[in-house]
Structure 1
Amino acid sequence: MVEVPFIAIEGPIGIGKTSLATKLSNHFQFHLLQEIVEENPFLSKFYDDIEAWSFQTEMFFLCNRFKQLEDIETQYLKMNKPVIADYHISKNMIFAKRTLDQDKFEKYEKIYRILTEDMPTPNIMIYLHASLDTILNRIQQRGREFEQKIEVSYLEQLSRDYEQYMNEFEILHPNIPIIRINGDKVDFIRHQTDLNQIISSVSKKLDEKTSHYE
């Protein structure tokens, strides 16, 4: 059975996940799945007081991402229609571990495990990473008001969390290739040659997946 392409892009806040997902979606003509961010009614309060609003914020994201993936599975993947997403639902655990106290995290984790136990898993991962300076510049450039309140220390820790998460993901999912892109050296928005290199890397992984199932 041929595996329907399902690509997920991950990386810290502001790294360019949605921009890259949109460009790759247009190139490969894959359905684009974008996470719900600005619609989260708790997010602005969260960055004002993480401890007070973390559980509500994380639960909103989890429930909405679950619903999105449920729809994607039935409307696209099961219909053999490829999908590219600007997130992977397992990112929820990165943020929950960082923001929730132990009691709330244990409750959250139980709900997360129940909801995601039979969710579709991407068969290619793209990991965008960069230095803190690059991330801060990109956050400032896109100008989301609530993101301007993010503490630098939080972003710095989040970048380390993502690096650990991707290293663990690679061990736990050896059959899912990871394309790592250094945002300090690659600017796929300004330079077409950089985007072409990424497209070439993705095409190669797609070809490898196809040949594996032939």
Structure 2
Amino acid sequence: MAGVPFIAIEGPIGIGKTSIATKLSNHFHFHLLQEIVEENPFLSKFYDDIEAWSFQTEMFFLCNRFKQLEEIEEQYLNLNKPVIADYHISKNMIFAKRTLDKDKFEKYEKIYRILTEDMPTPNIMIYLHASLDTLLKRIKQRGRKFEKNIEVAYLEQLSKDYEQYMNEFEVLHPNIPIIRINGDEVDFIRHQTDLNQIITMVRKQLNEVANTNE
């Protein structure tokens, strides 16, 4: 499985993870793994009252992402079929650290460590980031009803948490290349040239991964 392309895309809410994952999946003919979001029955309640509904929300995401990755490993990666995902399961810890109180976080972390101990690790990460204004604009444009109550302060802090997370990821996983894309400067939805630049960067890393595993 080590040489099978497994790309994960990360970044804060509204940055365009699913959009770029879909475009890259179509271009490279990789299986697309999309995280379950709108199916989470606690999410709208979470944005109304984070403290009251954070544990249920995070546990739903964790269990569903675990199940998805388990199936992806069995049905694709172990059969040498490339995958591109619009998330990395370790993102769960970003949100859990921000939303759960100390006691609940300790319980959650134990469950997280057990479930993710043998999870497949991506060999390429794409990190999308942008200013708060850009994130708010894109969240408004996609018009998800349950996101209308997202607090600006929460989103701003989440962006900072993601930046710290990616910096730490780079240190912990020096052999996993990170492609960083500034969403304020790149619009891969409206401009084909921007998308082509991203495709070129991804192709370069795919070639390096392939050469490393020869």
TM-score range, shorter chain: over 0.9
Q: Kindly indicate whether the alpha-carbon contact (under 8 Å) linking 1:7 and 1:124 is maintained by their aligned counterparts in 2.
A: yes
- In the alignment, is residue 84 of structure 1 matched against residue 84 of structure 2? yes
* 2:63 counterpart letter in structure 1: C
Which residue is 2:203 aligned to?
203
Structure 2: distance between partners of 1:213 and 1:131: 37
Query: What does residue 173 of structure 1 align with?
Result: 173
Aligned structure 1 segments of 4 or more residues deviating by more than 3 angstroms: none
- Residue 2 of structure 1, CA deviation: 5.9
Partner of 1:131: 131
Alignment of 1:187-202 (within 5 A): 187-202=187-202
Structure 1 gap segments, 5+ residues each: none
1:155 offset after TM fit, Å? 0.2
Partner of 2:156: 156
The answer to whether the 8 Å contact 1:44/1:146 transfers is: yes
Matched residue, 1:112: 112
Contact 1:2 1:210 in 2 (8 A): no
Change (3 A) 1:198 1:41: same
User: Any idea what the Cα deviations from partners look like across 1:28-67, whole Å, max 9, x if unmatched?
Assistant: 0000000000000000000000000000000000000000
CA–CA distance in 2 between the matches of 1:11 and 1:144? 18
Residue number in structure 1 paired with 2:95: 95
For 1:51-62, what aligned pairs fall within 5 Å after superposition?
Answer: 51-62=51-62
CA distance in 2, matches of 1:106, 1:173: 24
3-state DSSP of counterpart to 1:128? strand
Measure the CA separation in 2 of the matches of 1:212 and 1:97. 35
The percent of aligned pairs where both chains have the same amino acid is: 86
Give distance in 2, aligned partners of 1:76 and 1:213.
18
Structure 2 residue aligned with 1:145: 145
Q: Give distance in 1, aligned partners of 2:2 and 2:128.
A: 27
Relative to structure 1, is the Cα distance of residues 151 and 206 closer, same or farther in structure 2, using a 3 angstrom cutoff? same
Deviation string, structure 1 residues 118-174 (Cα, Å, up to 9, x no partner): 000000000000000000000000000110100000000000000000000000000
The DSSP-based 3-state class of the residue aligned with 1:7 is strand
What is the aligned length? 214
Taking the aligned partners of 1:213 and 1:153, their CA distance within structure 2 comes to: 44
Q: Secondary structure at the match of 2:45?
A: helix
- For the aligned residue pairs, the C-alpha RMSD in angstroms reads 0.7
SS of the counterpart of 1:149? coil
User: What SS does the corresponding residue of 1:121 show, helix, strand or coil?
Assistant: coil
> Which residue pairs with 1:121 in the alignment?
121
Letter of the structure 2 residue corresponding to residue 73 of structure 1: E
Q: Any unmatched runs of 5+ in structure 2?
A: none
| Aligned equivalents of 2:199, 2:185: Cα separation in 1 | 16
Give me the whole-angstrom Cα distance separating, in 2, the residues matched to 1:53 and 1:124. Answer: 33
Give 2:42's aligned amino acid: F
Partners of 1:207 and 1:114 lie apart in 2 by 33
